[in-house]
Amino acid sequence: MDDLHSDNFVRRLRSLIIKEFNQIRRDRRLAISLIIPPTIQLLLFGFALNSTVSNLKLGVIDDSRTPESRELASTMTESKSFALGGVYLSLNEMSAAISRGDLDAGVVIPYDFARNLQRGRQTTIQVLLNATNANTAAIGQGYAEGIIQMYNRNLLATGGIHAQFAQVASNQLDRRGVVQLVSDFLFNPGLVTAWYIVTGVFGLLLILNSSLISASAMVKERERGTVEQLLMTPATTAEIIFAKISPLFLLLNVMIIFALIMIKFVFDTPFRGNLLLVYIGADLCVLCGIGIGTFIATFTKTSQQSMLTSFFVNPPLSSLSGALTPIEAMPKWMQPLTLLNPIRHFSVIARGVLLKGSGIEALWPNFLALALITSILLALSVWRFRKQLG
């Protein structure tokens, strides 16, 4: 009897899974949405979300009109940080250009710039920054300070009475030690922003796409009336739920493979650790997203309702994930909320394994948290689905 019961269970489950695969195969839009949108989204996020700021449009007012002032202006505009946006005759004219957005920054070189340099006096130039985007303004200020420091070093190195005097005084009169800073960038020596972005967006796309697709599939099933037909079969509620989740889970695993290939070969992200750990974490993310989508589907009756409900769930998940911005930049009271976010834990896993080469001994708290969140969400979604079927 036990063997017969087991055979019947396997046949029922196989028939239900085949039925779900056939349904997905007939719905080409659903099958395409499992692969193409996540691929395009990963490309767009990886290339577009770049915190590196370059070629800021710089306006110049040169009241000195000397070789020294022209050298400073060319030093600033010939770097990759700034690009010449125009030469202006008055401060009001340049300020108006900054207000219109024609310029990102402006530099004003005073009339006595060269004379003060030749006499060994300190001279001041003014840098105007468009601080509408505070991050861009802060980066532009750092660029300007770095270029001016380099210009000052060149003045000391290229001779001249003042430069030579400063070198002699430093060697003979000041015998104190000097602290020299040498930076060593661990795990990302080239400071490639895309490595940080794509490893965070990876988990974001897994959760968002799996939740949207599973919610859409469940709601369409109810709209067609096939859920009621399944209740008339000998299959149990658990078998129906497992059969519905399995095809989506397998197809979303194809998305995981595509995403990993792109992360490696398109963005040249290093794979320093055990790739199996990333794959296990990604599978937990997919199951978590399916749980969220199924839970949403049990509260909605149409596809439009499920999409609108998802908009109340997905934005907080992405904002509190740390996938795009550091969690440390959030307010203190908000940071503990990220511990309930599966995307946050997967981002730590992906970055730890791929960029740092971390193992399970360092990442087990994140795996444990991700497994607990996934189990709770799946249990809630199964409970709601059973209640609905009942």
Q: What is the model's pLDDT at position 364? A: 94
Count other C-beta atoms under 10 Å from residue 271's C-beta.
14
More confident residue, 16 or 201: 201
Encoded amino acid at 343, one letter:
I
Residues 6+ apart with CB under 8 A from 233: 12
More confident residue, 320 or 135: 320
Which one, of 116, 106, 107, 103, lies nearest residue 66 by Cα?
Answer: 116
Residue found under tokens 């499920």? 306
Write out the two tokens for 161.
Answer: 């009475």
Per mean pLDDT, which range of 20-34, 157-171, 177-191, 215-229 is the poorest? 157-171
Whole-angstrom distance, CA of residue 357 vs CA of residue 364: 14
Residue found under tokens 């959030």? 330
Q: How does DSSP classify residue 190?
A: T
Cα-to-chain-centroid distance, residue 106: 31
pLDDT at 157 over 70: no
More confident residue, 45 or 376: 376
pLDDT band for 163, please (50, 70, 90 cuts).
very low
Q: What is the model's pLDDT at position 24? A: 66
Write out the two tokens for 216.
Answer: 């859409």
pLDDT band for 241, please (50, 70, 90 cuts).
confident
Write out the two tokens for 204.
Answer: 């974001």
Q: For the full predicted model, state whether its pTM sits above 0.85.
A: no
Q: What is the model's pLDDT at position 80? A: 75
Backbone conformation region of residue 179, classed left if phi is above 0, alpha if psi is from -120 to 50, else beta: beta
Reported as a single tens digit per residue, the pLDDT across 33-42 is 667 777 787 8
pLDDT at 316 over 70: yes
Chain length of the chain: 390
Reported as a single tens digit per residue, the pLDDT across 45-61 is 777 776 667 788 888 98
Class of domain 56-151: alpha beta
Q: What DSSP assignment string belongs to 215-242?
A: HHHHHHHHHHTHHHHHHTSS--HHHHHH
Q: How far is CA 179 from CA 22, 99, 156, 182, 248, in A?
A: 70, 42, 19, 10, 59
Q: What is the model's pLDDT at position 78? A: 79
Write out the two tokens for 97.
Answer: 């250009």
pLDDT band for 310, please (50, 70, 90 cuts).
confident
- Say if residues 293 and 212 touch (Cβ distance below 8 Å): yes
Q: What DSSP assignment string belongs to 42-74?
A: HHHHHHH-------EEEEEEESS-SHHHHHHHH
pLDDT band for 231, please (50, 70, 90 cuts).
low
User: H or E segment at 261?
Assistant: helix 237-265
Whole-angstrom distance, CA of residue 169 vs CA of residue 148: 22
The per-residue pLDDT of the chain, averaged, comes to: 79
